[in-house]
């Protein structure tokens, strides 16, 4: 069953210009005449992630070198929103490219295959290929820190450096998996990560 907030999030993804005010804020307006604060998240997602910025805005942000905070900076939110729309469109659920779990898109992120800080302007503008969808339930951190990599045929690789102890159960879900984000146009970006960030043999 779809909640009111989920419906509102869906409408915003589709381009509707609406705002959400939570019950407590609305009561504050009605009972005390104080301004009601508009929610900065809808159904758990930052509002900026739901609204797709224009290509012009994306190109302006892509010209900025170095890393961008994906959630807490104006530029980071704009870039993440644009890239999320490329990956997920108006979908409410999508599959993590690494672990394969189908999850609400609020638990997925448009992650740079090659770190943004290492990308040229041309690569930052390659919106269709520079990112892949990974979950925030561990896959994003494991890939970013080089504990996971993607081989030349798209196979998910596990670092032998961090595969002992409790990490064995974490890595078990990746055994035999193929990365859903790997294809001919993303292969070079994955190769960069494999040779420069992956903690282990480049397979």
The answer to whether 5 and 41 have CB atoms below 8 angstroms apart is no
Residue range 144-190, pLDDT digits in tens = 999 999 998 999 999 988 777 788 889 999 999 999 999 999 999 99
* Between residues 50 and 106, the one the model is more confident about: 106
Q: What's the pLDDT score for residue 114?
A: 97
- Token pair 């740079």: residue: 112
Residue range 29-58, pLDDT digits in tens = 666 667 767 776 777 777 666 777 788 988
**Burial letters 67-76, b for 16+ CB under 10 A, else e:** ebebeeeeeb
**Cα gap 152→193, rounded to integer Å:** 11
DSSP 3-state assignment of 38? coil
Confidence class of residue 25 from pLDDT cuts 50, 70 and 90? low
The answer to whether 126 and 147 have CB atoms below 8 angstroms apart is no
Q: What is the mean pLDDT of the chain?
A: 85
pTM exceeding the 0.85 threshold for the entire prediction: no
Residue 60: CB atoms within 10 A of its CB come to 14
């Amino acid at each position: 069953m779809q909640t009111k907030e989920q419906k509102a999030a869906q409408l915003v993804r589709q381009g509707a210009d609406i705002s959400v005010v939570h019950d407590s804020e609305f009561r504050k307006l009605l009972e005390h005449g104080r301004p009601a604060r508009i929610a900065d998240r809808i159904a758990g997602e930052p509002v900026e992630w739901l609204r797709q910025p224009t290509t012009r805005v994306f190109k302006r942000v892509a010209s900025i070198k170095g890393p961008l905070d994906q959630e807490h900076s104006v530029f980071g939110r704009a870039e993440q929103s644009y890239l999320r729309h490329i990956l997920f469109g108006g979908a409410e659920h999508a599959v993590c490219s690494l672990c394969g779990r189908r999850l609400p898109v609020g638990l997925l992120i448009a992650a740079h295959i090659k770190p943004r800080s290492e990308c040229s302007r041309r690569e930052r503008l390659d919106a269709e290929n520079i990112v892949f969808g990974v979950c925030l339930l561990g896959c994003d951190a494991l890939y970013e820190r080089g504990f996971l990599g993607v081989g030349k045929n798209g196979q998910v690789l596990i670092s032998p450096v961090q595969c002992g102890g409790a990490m064995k159960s974490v890595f078990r879900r990746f055994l035999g998996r193929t990365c859903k984000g790997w294809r001919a146009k993303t292969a070079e970006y994955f190769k960069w990560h494999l040779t420069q960030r992956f903690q282990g043999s480049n397979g």
